[in-house]
Amino acid sequence: MAGKRTSSEDHGNLLRVRVRPFTQRAAPGPGPALGPGPGLLFPGSSLFSFVRRVYRCCQDGASCRSVRGIQGRLRGDSDLEFLLTSDVLSLSVLRAELHLQLSNPEHLDVRPVLSYMAKRGLPTRYSLWSRGNTVELRVDLLFLLQSLQEAAGGAAGGGGARLVNMRRAVFPPTTSGALQDSAWGELGLILGCTRQGSGVSCGGVQLSHTPFMALYYR
């Protein structure tokens, strides 16, 4: 018998988030690059705006950490993919955040739930800002990055061979591309919506920009 569904699952939008190592075979094809190698993406307007905000804070004398932005790519309406190079996996990451910008014309209360965390009775850590019809959402993915680094041989190393081994560990051949919903690279992110405490459909809540990831490191 299936377990009782939560209001987020009943009314929410599901976004599949895939984070995997970059290899020539994993991401073929031409295109502008963010970092070395083909297949990596040039930062979009949302990521550029974030970088400008960080730069202004540093100029104003705020305490700044090293930040790395990684542009995601959408495949269809709900599949989001990030490719990580070996230099990213070698960073000593302090925070890892998934940044989403959402249109919210009905001004609903939006709450993200990582199904991996929910199934283990753990909270999804996030922060949220609303401005007019726009919601900016940041979801904590540090646990995922740490798991990927461990699979790649730790933050201190991680060459091409280790990336291949990590890819096999994250996506064994028997999965046939199915959603793994585990700490090994693929997660289900449910965007649940409420109005005055009651669950409602999130049909009007849509991505307004392709999401990106921000990594804060030593």
Residue type, 71: Q
Does 11 have pLDDT greater than 90? no
Q: What is the pLDDT of residues 198-213, one digit of tens each?
A: 999 998 999 999 999 9
32 DSSP 8-state letter: -
pLDDT digit string (tens) for 91-102?
999 999 999 999
Region 133-145: what's the mean pLDDT?
A: 94
Q: What is the pLDDT of residues 28-48, one digit of tens each?
A: 433 333 333 345 667 778 888
For residue 69, what is the DSSP state?
E
Confidence category of residue 17, pLDDT binned at 50, 70, 90: very high
Region 120-135: what's the mean pLDDT?
95
Q: End-to-end CA distance of the chain, in Å?
A: 47
Query: Please, which pLDDT band fits residue 50 given cuts at 50, 70 and 90?
Result: confident
Q: What's the confidence (pLDDT) of residue 53?
A: 83
Please tell me what DSSP assigns to residue 110. Answer: E
pLDDT of 145-156, one tens digit each? 888 888 777 554
Four-residue CA torsion sign, 118, 123, 126, 131: positive
Output the pTM of the full model: 0.75
* pLDDT score for 140: 97
Q: Which of 57-66, 103-112, 159-168 has the lowest mean pLDDT?
A: 159-168
Confidence of residue 10 (pLDDT cuts 50, 70, 90): low
CA 184: distance to chain centroid?
13
Give the three-state DSSP class for 98: strand
Longest dimension (CA), the chain: 57
| pLDDT 10s digits, 159-195 | 443 444 444 444 343 333 333 444 347 899 999 999 9
